[in-house]
Amino acid sequence: MGIIAVAMLAFVVNPDSLEKLFGAKPGVYGKVNGDEITKEEYDDQLFMLQQQAQQQGQPGTGLEEQAWQLMVQSKLIKQQFEKMGLTLTEDMFWNQLQYDPMFAQNKENFDAKGNFKTQEIKKQITDLQNSGNVEMYNNWLRTRRTMEYRMMARQLFANVSIGITASKKEAEEMMKQRDQLANIDFVKIDYSVYEKKNPVKITRQDLTDYIKKHPILFKRDASRNIGFVYFPAAPSAQDETLAQNEINKLFSQGTDMSDGKENFQNTTNDSMFVSLNSDLPFNPQYFSAEQLPSQIKDKVAGASIGSTFGPYKEQNFYVVSKILDKKPSDSTLSRHILVTYKGNQAGANETRSKDEAKKLADSIGAVLKADPAKFTEMLKYSADPSSAAQGGSVGWTTPATPFVPEYLSFLANNGKGATGVVETQFGYHIINIEDKKSGAMTYKVANLVKAIKASDKTENEVYSKATRFIQQVQGKSFNDFANIAKKGNYQFDNPKEVGRFQGQLPGLGTDKDQEIIAWAFNKKRSKGDTEIFTVDGTGDRIVAYLNGIQDAGTADPEAVRDQIEPIIKNKIMAKQISEKIKAANAKSLDQIAKLFGAPKGSGQINILNPLLAGAMEPKVAGAAFGVAKGKLSMPVEGMTGVYVLVKNSETVNKQPGDIKQVTEAIAGQNSQQFGQALLKSLQDNAKIKDYRIELFNQTAMQ
């Protein structure tokens, strides 16, 4: 959402609990190689992510883990930056500012010759600092810290990757591997076919041994293994019929309040009728035909104003639609100054009253109507740091842009150059329309909606079913929990590594997900605990089972069984197959094919694109180019089976691209991969302490 609320998500924490946890340094959420991540830093990062999500029309919840990871990476980048003897000076910050995406993408930050307006932006920041608008200036400081980390990252990666090159020899070898093809005959003993006759059982010890050989791959943060069964309160056929009857009555018969005289067809106040009788509110915005419900989008172009469509079914709703107006869609370039007040959605730390905010907004509006050139000067009063950094601009919008309706209404009803004050849930906006462009036809539609929802009777049946289930599984093993769920054809899932702050449960996605995760991480929980949860507003029930508690460290073998069991099975089967081939003293592909009842095949394979018979087999490609022509290879442990092959010949299929192009491509790829690998290596080898779980458990017990 472009018009954003400047509000911090603050965790309510008792200072006493912080003292118990962190001694003389309360408010520390974690450490990275000894450097503290404070509550303030973490909250600032979370706030920035929430702003970005709102601007993009995305939900602002479930971002806690992303905020943590970004803080960890920022600390690692800063540490490495300083280890290299680099310093981000004040001059360097202002010199680099023009390359940061927040400023580089706004043409207003550059003059007619393309020069960055450094001094003008510096003056804006100085004016802001001296204006007394503490909230706005603090927002700038948050934004600056984020940009500083980006600048350090760019310089760090530029310095470490500058020496990454590719030689002519590398390029020649790459071109050779790219162009060479091996023509082979082979026998493949497929793992899945072999296992049907030779089943392999993987024990917990097998899993443990594999994990010990690959400790870095299985380093884990604290997690929980949670099983759950979802009992949706799905509307019954009777519930659907009830919704259909309700909308038919409102459409053609009439409302009870009007004694049957007013219906959706004859009403003279469509917005009021929808507001009083619909399950979804009236939306005054204009939409393109493509944005309208699928049942009517192809019909509106030829329909007249006042035409109705329906009733029709759209997902879980019955709908009747009426065309109220048509007009071409204008794209509008606008800018704004947001004035907030205490108690409104964007006035987190604001002290001014609503009346004071209105007077200030009207005063700014009057100044700008008289002299629009003073807009930049007035930005010091804006509580929207994101747009203020762009000269107040919110970019090009259309009636379909997810902005607050009052803002869009001003844009729709005023022309280029207009300035006005508009009140929304975020405060008072002083809006200036910079430009307009005509677009395609748009439609204002009133939608009368009745939700097809579960009745009380249906919800009670779901509650009874969930209650019976939890009674059946209490005190039982997890296998019993899963088997009873499957026997009842219930919706069962088992995410095995759920992080404390990941926000959503895979396979679920309800507003109870975070509550279930918090329940599972509570220190009072033990393996085998069960609980029933009710999804707000739906009547859906969720029965959760805590199947495993993973503390930070090496992964629980059972939690990663699905990931590594196939790998271990294949290795065991590959060893068995190889031993059988050796014991049979097989000297030809025909003998090996007969030994396992497997077919012979033939094909071409390439080192860089090792596709053979529909499977990617890099080890087979290596063997094909390593074995002598006409010789039987040793058994090759492939990805999907064990292969034995004979190379008949090698051919060259020349691909486009000269030595210079290939050299540059290798260097670019190596540089990109090195940057990613460097950050991963820094994180894998860092001493990272995360106190958030302890902190949240402590506050939950108060």
Tell me the DSSP string of 542-595: EEEEEEEEE-SEEPPGGGGHHHHHHHHHHHHHHHHHHHHHHHHT--SHHHHHHH
pLDDT of residue 120: 87
- Who has greater pLDDT, 24 or 297? 297
Confidence band, pLDDT 50/70/90 cuts, at residue 544: very high
- Angle of helix 589-596 versus helix 561-584 axis, rounded to 10: 120
Which of 267, 316, 263, 270 shows the shortest CA–CA distance to 293? Answer: 316
pLDDT of residue 11: 25
311 cis-preceded (ω within 30 degrees of 0):
yes
Q: How far apart are CA 336 and CA 388, in angstroms?
A: 8
Q: What percent of the chain shows pLDDT beyond 70?
A: 94
Confidence band, pLDDT 50/70/90 cuts, at residue 674: confident
3-state secondary structure of 436: strand
Find where tokens 């991540």 sit: 37
Check whether 441 has a pLDDT greater than 90.
no
Which of 158, 146, 164 shows the shortest CA–CA distance to 80? Answer: 158
Q: Do 303 and 318 contact (CB within 8 A), yes or no?
A: no
- Cβ atoms within 10 Å of 110's Cβ, excluding its own: 14
Q: How far apart are CA 6 and CA 304, in angstroms?
A: 43
The token pair that represents 42 in the structure block: 């973490």
Which of 507, 538, 537, 502 shows the shortest CA–CA distance to 520? Answer: 502
* Average pLDDT, rounded, for the chain: 87
Average pLDDT over residues 185-198: 95
Domains of the chain: 15-162+686-700 (1.10.4030), 178-216+562-652 (3.10.50), 223-234+455-550 (3.10.50)
Average pLDDT over residues 244-266: 92
Q: Exposure of 599 by Cβ count < 10 A (0-12 exposed, 13-18 middle, 19+ buried)? A: exposed
Quote the radius of gyration of the chain (alpha carbons, Å): 33
Global confidence as pTM: 0.60
pLDDT of residue 349: 67
pLDDT of residue 509: 85
Check whether 48 has a pLDDT greater than 90.
no
Element (H, E) at 456: helix 456-473
One-letter amino acid of 43: D
- Cβ atoms within 10 Å of 8's Cβ, excluding its own: 16
642 bridge partner residues: 189, 637
Q: How far apart are CA 248 and CA 242, in angstroms?
A: 10
pLDDT of residue 701: 47
pLDDT of residue 699: 53
pLDDT tens-digit series, residues 510-520: 889 989 999 99
Q: How far apart are CA 439 and CA 327, in angstroms?
A: 9
Non-local CB neighbours of 293 within 8 Å, separated by 6+ positions: 312, 314, 319, 321, 447
Check whether 204 has a pLDDT greater than 70.
yes
Q: Exposure of 253 by Cβ count < 10 A (0-12 exposed, 13-18 middle, 19+ buried)? A: exposed
Q: Exposure of 622 by Cβ count < 10 A (0-12 exposed, 13-18 middle, 19+ buried)? A: middle
- Cα dihedral 319, 324, 325, 329 sign: negative
pLDDT tens-digit series, residues 647-664: 999 998 888 778 888 888
The token pair that represents 93 in the structure block: 């910050």
228 bridge partner residues: 493, 544
pLDDT tens-digit series, residues 58-94: 777 778 888 899 999 999 999 999 998 988 999 999 9
3-state secondary structure of 501: coil
Average pLDDT over residues 184-197: 95
3-state secondary structure of 699: helix
Q: Exposure of 656 by Cβ count < 10 A (0-12 exposed, 13-18 middle, 19+ buried)? A: exposed
pLDDT tens-digit series, residues 608-641: 999 998 999 999 999 999 999 999 999 999 999 9
Non-local CB neighbours of 579 within 8 Å, separated by 6+ positions: none
The token pair that represents 112 in the structure block: 């007619």
Q: Do 37 and 138 contact (CB within 8 A), yes or no?
A: no
pLDDT of residue 485: 95
Non-local CB neighbours of 264 within 8 Å, separated by 6+ positions: 250, 251, 252, 270, 273, 277, 308, 320, 322, 448
CA angle 164, 169, 173 (to 5 degrees): 105
Confidence band, pLDDT 50/70/90 cuts, at residue 348: low
Find where tokens 């600092």 sit: 129
Element (H, E) at 651: strand 641-652
Q: How far apart are CA 525 and CA 226, in angstroms?
A: 12
Q: Do 642 and 188 contact (CB within 8 A), yes or no?
A: yes
The token pair that represents 377 in the structure block: 């000067």
pLDDT tens-digit series, residues 472-508: 999 899 999 999 999 999 999 999 999 888 888 988 9
Q: How far apart are CA 693 and CA 518, in angstroms?
A: 9
Check whether 3 has a pLDDT greater than 80.
no
Q: Do 131 and 381 contact (CB within 8 A), yes or no?
A: yes
Which of 438, 472, 537 shows the shortest CA–CA distance to 232? Answer: 537
pLDDT of residue 170: 87
pLDDT of residue 198: 94
Check whether 19 has a pLDDT greater than 70.
no
Q: Do 179 and 653 contact (CB within 8 A), yes or no?
A: yes
Q: Do 411 and 397 contact (CB within 8 A), yes or no?
A: yes
Which of 148, 168, 152 shows the shortest CA–CA distance to 160? Answer: 152
Q: How far apart are CA 533 and CA 500, in angstroms?
A: 18
Q: Do 577 and 265 contact (CB within 8 A), yes or no?
A: no
Confidence band, pLDDT 50/70/90 cuts, at residue 111: confident
pLDDT of residue 26: 59
pLDDT tens-digit series, residues 407-420: 998 998 899 999 99
3-state secondary structure of 477: coil
At 648, phi and psi to the nearest 5? -90, -40
pLDDT of residue 12: 26
Which of 192, 170, 185, 178 shows the shortest CA–CA distance to 610? Answer: 178
Check whether 328 has a pLDDT greater than 60.
yes
The token pair that represents 679 in the structure block: 């950050």
The token pair that represents 13 in the structure block: 């924490």
Check whether 315 has a pLDDT greater than 90.
no
Confidence band, pLDDT 50/70/90 cuts, at residue 8: very low
Q: What percent of the chain shows pLDDT beyond 90?
A: 50
